[in-house]
């Protein structure tokens, strides 16, 4: 058994494996697939509760992942925001000196969540300009 | 009255890093690789991952022998709330996995266990041990429950 706490390095090595063997297209194909199969709970919550579904989903996952974050739900603006001060996933890859992070590792967060949220009528924006410091910002807005 | 704004601010030390749904994600990874690229791809990926990521454990086993692996397995199953028994002698260790936390959680969340999910045990330990003087035999592995017997011993 691989520990659930070792999933992030396993995920990272998977991206490297897929790109090396089958090219970048294979990585994107996988991201689309895992978005469809794994983010079913996010999809259900957002369908049922609208923008608040984002708050409900990330309240659980970010706490379980022991992230350093600020999260805000603004009902008037119909906007949900995550400011990731230190991402536990990317942070783990940066701290683990005997492995190297897949160069486009953080890109998966753009592909996976956009694929769920945009078809449900939301705008999804992610700022990855500081992702090499394990920082990012996500804004979800109801159209 | 509904609050107009909700705010949550957390630092890493507010929580313990433990997200068992990642077992479900790993199950999806294995299922995807097997269906799209075949079982050999599952094995090759897990071998590569294990040889890379668990390298510090491999080095420890080279220095300290099976006691290093024993310590690793005990901590792993304790952290994940699994149930195991270990029979340990200096150069032979038998691990009885009585409850696999990964398979228990994947089933609890309603997913079907990937056909090659057993490779997360069967490919991982041999890769960890490959460059050591030890080997792993898995005479029993129940794919539905993850209950298994793992025997670690010196290579012949």
For B144, the token pair is 């539905």
Please report how the helices B21-37 and A24-38 are oriented relative to each other, as an axis angle in degrees rounded to 10.
130
Which tokens sit at B1? 């009255």
E-strand ranges in B1-111 read 5-10, 83-89, 92-99
Residue-wise pLDDT for A79-95, tens only, equals: 999 999 999 999 999 99
Whole domain around residue A116: which residue ranges? Answer: 4-142
**A94 interfaces chain B, CB cutoff of 8 Å:** no
Q: For all residues of chain A together, what is the average pLDDT?
A: 97
For residue B1, give Cα distances in angstroms to A8, A72, A73, A105, B121.
40, 18, 16, 42, 52
Judged against a pLDDT cut of 90, whether residue B33 lies above it is answered with yes
pLDDT digits (tens, 9 = 90+) for B108-149: 999 999 999 999 999 999 999 999 999 999 999 999 999 999
Shortest CB distance from A17 goes to which of B6, B32, B45? B45
| A133 at interface of B, judged by CB pairs closer than 8 A | no
Of the candidates B17, B32, B80, the beta carbon closest to that of A88 is on B17
Instruction: Please say whether the beta carbons of B7 and A72 come within 8 A.
Output: yes
pLDDT > 70? residue A111: yes
Chain B positions touching A8 (Cβ under 8 A) are 22
Tally of CA atoms within 13 A in the half-sphere of A98 that contains its CB: 11
The domain total for chain A is 1
- pLDDT given for residue A93 in this prediction: 97
CA gap A124, B19 in Å, rounded: 24
pLDDT for B15: 87
Judged by a CB distance cut-off of 8 A, whether residue B12 touches chain A is yes
Of all residues in chain A, the one with the smallest CA distance to B81 is A3
**Could you tell me which of B85, B61, B88 has the C-alpha nearest to residue B72?**
B61
Q: For A12, which residue in chain B has the nearest alpha carbon?
A: B49
Contacts of A2 in chain B (CB under 8 A): 26, 102, 120, 124
At residue B60, does pLDDT exceed 60? yes
CATH number of the domain enclosing A17: 3.30.1380
Quickly count: other Cβ atoms within 10 Å of residue A21's Cβ. Answer: 12
Q: How close B2 comes to chain A (CA, Å)?
A: 9
Q: In whole angstroms, give the CA distance from residue A65 to residue B17.
A: 5
Sorting pLDDT into bands at 50, 70 and 90, what band is B1?
A: low
- The domain B20-154: what is its CATH number? 3.30.1380
């Amino acid at each position: 058994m691989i520990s659930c706490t070792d999933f992030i390095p396993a995920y990272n090595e998977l991206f490297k494996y897929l790109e090396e063997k089958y090219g970048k297209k294979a990585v994107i194909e996988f991201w689309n697939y895992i978005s469809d199969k794994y983010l079913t709970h996010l999809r259900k919550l957002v369908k049922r509760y609208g923008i608040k579904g984002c708050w409900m989903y990330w309240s659980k996952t970010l706490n379980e992942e022991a992230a350093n974050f600020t999260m805000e739900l603004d009902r008037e603006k119909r906007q949900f925001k995550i400011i990731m001060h230190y991402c536990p996933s990317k942070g783990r890859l940066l701290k683990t000196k005997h492995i190297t992070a897949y160069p486009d590792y953080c890109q998966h967060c753009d592909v996976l969540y956009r694929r769920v949220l945009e078809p449900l009528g939301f705008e999804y924006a992610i700022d990855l300009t500081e992702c090499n410091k394990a920082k990012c910002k996500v804004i979800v807005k109801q159209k | 009255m509904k609050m107009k704004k909700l705010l949550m601010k957390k630092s890493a030390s507010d929580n313990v890093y433990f997200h068992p749904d990642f077992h479900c994600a790993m199950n999806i990874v294995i299922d995807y690789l097997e269906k799209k690229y075949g079982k050999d791809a599952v094995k090759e990926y897990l071998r590569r991952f294990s040889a890379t990521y668990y390298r510090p454990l491999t080095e420890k086993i080279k220095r300290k022998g099976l006691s290093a692996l024993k310590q690793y397995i005990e901590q792993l199953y304790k952290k994940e709330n699994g149930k195991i028994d270990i029979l340990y002698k200096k150069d032979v260790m038998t691990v009885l996995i009585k409850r696999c936390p990964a398979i228990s959680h994947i089933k609890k969340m309603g997913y079907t266990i990937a056909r090659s999910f057993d490779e997360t045990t069967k490919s991982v330990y041999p890769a960890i041990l490959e460059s050591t003087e030890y080997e792993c035999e898995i005479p029993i592995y129940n794919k539905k429950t993850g209950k298994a017997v793992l025997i670690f011993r010196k290579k012949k």
